[in-house]
Chains A and B, each alone.
Chain A
Amino acid sequence: MAEMHDAIKVVMTKEEISRTVKRLAAEIVEKHGNVKNLVIIGIQTRGVHLARRIINEMVAAQLTPSADDVAFGKLDITLYRDDISTISTTPLIRETEIPFDITDKKIILVDDVVFTGRSIRAAMDELMDFGRPRSIELAVLVDRGHRELPIEPNYVGKKFVTAREESISVELEEVDGQDRIVLKTISSGDAHV
């Protein structure tokens, strides 16, 4: 298959990811002054782990006394995707867990990569079905461009200029066994992310 010809390049190491998550945590608290009314919601799967890491960094940097002070949720966007009737097998639905009222909260949505913006559109629609938040902001580890919707992240770990046929994959220890970000150039042309 295509893998044989794929060129793989590590574009971010474990240390760089760790520094970047720290910076994202600091930027969020700096912008809002404190964590009061803040809700951090990760998009399944890797966004959930990044959201947890961001909260841990807030505690480590003493931006908040304990992780319990920051409301944390998980969001699975599968049922809100706009391409569900065009894909051949329906994807596995993961857990959505927002065990509190989001009305009037300031939501920080966390994902690993922002690409076309369609996942974020789905995530926002889903959140609106849970209540009426005061605001929604977006924090991502990687912005790789190629937006198809007018969606811009508020907090960006790193921007990469990519070609459409390339793929960026964020690997996290919790899911993939190691922390790194790799850029793949797929020579066969069937790009996907």
Chain B
Amino acid sequence: MFNHKDLLDLEHLDKKEIELILETAKPFKSMFTRSIKKVPTLRGKTVVNLFYEPSTRTRTSFEIASKRLSADVVNVAVANSSVVKGESLIDTGKVLEAMKADFIIIRHSLAGAPAILARNLNARIINAGDGFHEHPTQGLLDMYTILEKKKRIAGLKVLLVGDILHSRVAKSNIWALKKMGADVRVVGPPTLIPPAIEDFGVKVFYDLDEALKDVDVINILRIQLERQQDNLFPSVHEYVALYQMNGDRLRLAKHDVLIMHPGPMNRGIEISSEVADSAAAVINEQVTNGIAVRMAVLYLLSGQKDKI
């Protein structure tokens, strides 16, 4: 079954474990249509959302997932906490553990921060995004959405568009997609494609029109506008011209292509409103599935009494 204390990345999960999480998310999703969307499974457990970077959707999603499992949820707003007074990450974790936190959901700007907590604490640690490293629950909810819509992942052609270099969503997607047997392509400006990414078995494109031919899924990454200040692409205008997923490009793709976006969207930049609101887009369903997948992760990590 699931023999992990923490969920830090998808790199170290095998195909069977990813499948178990996706399978476990199903009954949770079916709960969402009931009048009482809540089960008593984690009653008495405490979940702490420790977010060192701003986030609305991921934090809210974890909060709802925890509440639907009947856990108590505490949100630590780092900007107002003792962290700004200089407390170390491990000390903060120890304080939360002394307050009997059973799960700590952490988002941090530095890759590896969740792993540091995991090594030093008995609480279960879930990575909600660390630096440019991974965002495993986003990767899992993307897999869930693809599987639900396409009934399979193996053999599908999946294209990731945009800033692959700085995207933890892209990293988690690549790990999971490759393990599940998908054919993965990336496309973006050369400055935003990590060197040697081909070693992961990923096909690199620089021309979006060419890259999106015959693909089953297009996952559009958020473009962070501050990257332009770093001179990684010449101008927003040029990015839009070359890499925006717009209606004309959508018409070049397969008629049943799935359009995904991890949010929050920059409408008019990496995605046009026409595409975001098209029938091909499953962006809101990704959000719903995110709750089910996070419930599955919380549930699967709640075993192993020796460690909790």
Contact = CB atoms under 8 A, between A and B. Distances in A.
Interface stretch (B117-125, B194-202, B266-274, B297-305): B297-305
A12 B158 CA distance: 54
A90 B1 contact: yes
Interface of A is mostly: loop
A63 to B, nearest CB: 31
Contacts of B300: 90
A125 B40 CA distance: 9
A130 B20 CA distance: 26
Given A92-B24, A96-B27, A96-B30, A80 B39 contact: yes
B30 A90 contact: no
A86 interface: yes
Contact of A89 (B1, B23, B26, B40): B1
A76 B303 contact: no
Given A79-B41, A96-B27, A129-B38, A88 B306 contact: yes
Contacts of B38: 129
A93 B303 CA distance: 13
A1 interface: no
A95 B27 contact: yes
B45 A85 contact: yes
Interface of B is mostly: loop
Interface string A75-86: 010011000111
Contacts of A146: none
A87 interface: yes
Contact of A93 (B3, B27, B45): B27
A80 B299 CA distance: 12
B34 interface: yes
A90 B21 CA distance: 12
Contact of A79 (B36, B39, B303): B39
B32 interface: no
> Which 10 pairs, one residue from A and one from B, show the smallest C-beta to C-beta distance?
A79-B39, A90-B303, A89-B1, A129-B36, A79-B41, A89-B303, A93-B27, A86-B305, A88-B304, A88-B303
13 contacts: A79-B69, A79-B299, A84-B302, A87-B305, A88-B305, A89-B304, A90-B1, A93-B27, A93-B28, A93-B299, A95-B26, A96-B30, A125-B40
Given A89-B3, A92-B1, 20 more contacts: A79-B27, A79-B40, A79-B299, A80-B40, A84-B41, A85-B45, A87-B303, A88-B306, A89-B2, A90-B300, A92-B23, A93-B28, A93-B299, A95-B26, A95-B30, A96-B30, A97-B30, A130-B34, A130-B35, A131-B35
